Structure 1
Amino acid sequence: MELTPVTVLVTFAGVFLICFMKGAFGGGFAIIGIPLLSLVMDPITAGGLLAPLFIAMDLFGLRYWKPSTWSRPDLQLLLPGLISGIGIGYLVFRLLDHRAVAIVMAVITLVFVGLWFRSGGEIRVQPRSSRKALAAGLTSGITTMVAHSGGPPLAIYLLPLGLSKQLYAGTTSLFFTVGNLLKALPWLLLAKPTGNVLSLAAICLLAVPSGVWLGWRLHERLEQRQMYRACYALLVVTAVKLLWDGIGGYIA
């Protein structure tokens, strides 16, 4: 990959957008910024580039998503599944067809959002479920490893709980902090980034502070209902991107 001005600018913009989503919603919507990266590099290279950057974003995000914003009961239920899911996701990436995983996740997400809109688009609080949490953590671990798209499964579990916007974002942030730390080494082994990719990652580190801060500022301005509606809208965008990648992979 040549380190041209266009490559640097496009990659920087994509990373900045991912940082912004991290600050605004706690993470989980990295796939929103990945289309920009796909203009200048292949998915494997993008994964190797993002692996260390995700950790930098997460660590900087902890300035805003402090322990008081974490829902510990939900994290205790979710994290075991996440850890297992990342291990399974690594095997899926190496051995199975990850395009099919993307399509299935997209369909499930669209059904979930469709049912929410059909019910009137209101927050209806549901009780915690250890089985749902395990399934959400496991699925999120697989999809974040395969396609950097672990947000939908986690959101499908967390949104119906009716958490405050701070608890929702903080819990999401810590969940993906753990996930990104765990998947960094597998992705680096898969992508083996060297030379220009590492230099580009170092340049993009400059996008982290401002991107996360601006996202957090947006979060502060959003009302509870606006926050939830934005999350559901982003789930639709994510699902469409997953469908595009999955189906396009079979057509290409």
Structure 2
Amino acid sequence: MTLNATQWLIALLCAFMVGLSKTGFSGVSIITVALFAMMMPARESTGAVLPLLIVADVVAVTAFRRHAVWSHLWRMFPWAAAGIVIGWATMRLIHDDNILKLMIGVILIVMVALQWAQRLRPLPTEQKPASHLYAAAMGLTAGFTTMTANAAGPVMLLYFLAVGLPKMEFIGTGAWYFCIMNWFKVPFSVQMGTINAHSLLFDLKLAPLVVIGALTGRWLIKFVDQKAFEALALAFALIGGAKLIFDGWPHF
């Protein structure tokens, strides 16, 4: 893929933010989806972002692997996998890049709204069971959004809030969830051609920035007002989602 100097600078910044998002600044991940989808064709952007997310997942799992609550993960995995298959089938049916931009833009705006909703709720102090119906609905939604737009973060945050996971279990469970689901998506992305030799070479150039972002996030979170930082990122993500809808809508 051919990018100009400005696009390469944006790509490097996005890679840094991908790493940052896995170590405390979760809202930042949404803006990277919008920026990548604006820099390159929407379909190819999903495949370009996925390996970068996996690199960041490895760092997050290494740091928080002992804090996962596997009972929640086992409950979600089958439904999330089904959602990924549905998302893959949807992307196979849609060949118009403008329609994909429109779809990703709508997903991003919905995800931003969900992220804002969870920010308004305090973290519960005790765990509570979630119904199988709720787990199924959230799993399907997360699977579909992660396959089509790499934007399942707010859905999972809402689920983890609903079941009342403590802070460290919240982070550790999320780290394992996204790591496993992102690896599960790889064969589907390869089949669609969104992950290929060219995209992997592109990701290889950006991977060091992902690691630097993750390490920076672990250090920075101690000093930065996270709520203000994420609020700004979400505002830009909202603008990015609106831009994608604007680009796709006239041609739909």
TM range (shorter): 0.7 to 0.9
Counterparts of 1:80 and 1:237 in 2: how far apart (Å)?
33
**CA displacement 1:114-161 (0-9 Å, x = unmatched):** 5974xxx43456542222112111110000111111112212211233
Shift in CA distance, 231/140, structure 1 to aligned 2, threshold 3 Å: farther
Corresponding position of 2:12: 12
1:166-245 alignment, distance < 5 Å: 166-193=168-195, 196-219=198-221, 241-242=240-241, 244-245=243-244
What is aligned with 2:58?
59
Q: In the alignment, which residue of structure 2 is the partner of 1:23?
A: 23
Check conservation: 1:90, 1:146, Cα contact below 8 A: yes
Identity of matched residues, %: 23
Q: Deviations over 1:179-218 (max 9, x none)?
A: 1101122223324455654332111111122111122234
Q: Is 1:93 matched with 2:91? A: yes
Q: Distance in 2 between matches of 1:211 and 1:112?
A: 21
Structure 2: distance between partners of 1:164 and 1:30: 22
Aligned to 1:35: 34
Distance 2:226 2:18 in 1: 17
User: Cα offset for 1:100?
Assistant: 5.0
> 1:68-87 maps to which residues of 2 (within 5 A)?
68-87=66-85
Contact 1:48 1:190 in 2 (8 A): no
Q: Deviations over 1:31-61 (max 9, x none)?
A: 3213333453222222222232222221222
Distance 2:5 2:108 in 1: 35
Distance change in 2, residues 1:80/1:246 (3 Å): farther
- The aligned residue for residue 158 of structure 2 is 156
Is 1:110 the equivalent of 2:109? no
How far apart are residue 242 of structure 1 and its match? Answer: 4.3
Moved over 6 A (4+): 226-237
SS in 2 for 1:128: coil
- Whether the 8 Å contact between 2:84 and 2:146 is mirrored in structure 1 is yes
CA contact (8 A) 1:103 1:242 kept: yes
Structure 1: how far apart are the matches of 2:107 and 2:37?
A: 22
Is residue 165–residue 227 contact of structure 1 (8 Å, CA) maintained in 2? Answer: no
Seen in structure 2, the aligned counterparts of structure 1 residues 144 and 247 have a Cα distance that, compared at 3 Å, is: farther
TM-score, normalised by the number of residues in structure 2: 0.78
Q: Distance in 1 between matches of 2:131 and 2:181?
A: 21
Which structure 1 segments of 5+ residues have no match? none
Any unmatched runs of 5+ in structure 2? none
CA distance in 1, matches of 2:158, 2:222: 23
Instruction: Check the 8 A contact 1:24/1:217 in 2, yes or no.
Output: no
Q: CA deviation at 1:237?
A: 6.4
User: Which 10-residue stretch deviates more, 53-62 or 123-132?
Assistant: 123-132
- Are 1:18 and 1:32, in contact at CA under 8 Å, matched by a contact in 2? no
Distance in 1, matches of 2:93 and 2:28, equals: 25
Q: Which amino acid aligns with 1:88?
A: I
Aligned length, in residue pairs: 244
Deviation at 1:70, TM superposition (A): 0.7
